[in-house]
């Protein structure tokens, strides 16, 4: 797995546990089976490996997770996005929900 370039430009090893925990929190009380969860994690890891890079920005990882979560469960996607994108006010959150509705 590639190293992850964080926003502060530091580099850290890929940590599957962080992704698992973040996704698990977003999926709490959602109708997603353990098998779907495991498949989601494996799909995300494969896509990150398939970038073929030694290092990738954390933003790429977050965007990859959000794209796959959006397909699986829109509520989980909004939950994850609200933490990942650090919405600063309710309007930003509302805009993200509106984008989902428009699709």
Residue 64: per-residue pLDDT: 94
Per-residue pLDDT of the chain (103 residues; tens, 9 = 90+): 999 999 899 999 999 999 999 999 999 999 999 999 999 999 999 999 999 999 999 989 998 998 999 999 989 988 888 776 665 666 766 776 676 666 6
pTM, two decimals, is 0.79
Q: Mark out the alpha helices in 1-103 (DSSP H runs).
A: 16-26, 34-50, 58-72, 74-84, 90-102
CA 27 to chain centroid? 11
Range of the domain at 39: 3-102
Looking at the 3D structure of the chain, how many domains does it have?
A: 1
Residue 72, helix vs strand vs coil = helix
């Amino acid at each position: 797995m590639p190293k992850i370039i964080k926003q502060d430009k530091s580099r850290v090893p890929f940590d599957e546990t962080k992704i698992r925990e973040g996704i698990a929190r977003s999926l709490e009380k959602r109708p997603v089976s353990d098998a779907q969860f495991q498949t989601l994690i494996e799909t995300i890891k494969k896509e990150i490996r398939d970038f073929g890079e030694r290092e990738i920005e954390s933003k790429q990882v977050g965007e990859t997770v959000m794209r796959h979560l959006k397909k699986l469960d829109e509520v989980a996607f909004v939950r994850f996005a609200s933490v990942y994108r650090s919405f600063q006010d309710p309007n930003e959150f509302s805009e993200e929900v509106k984008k989902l509705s428009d699709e």
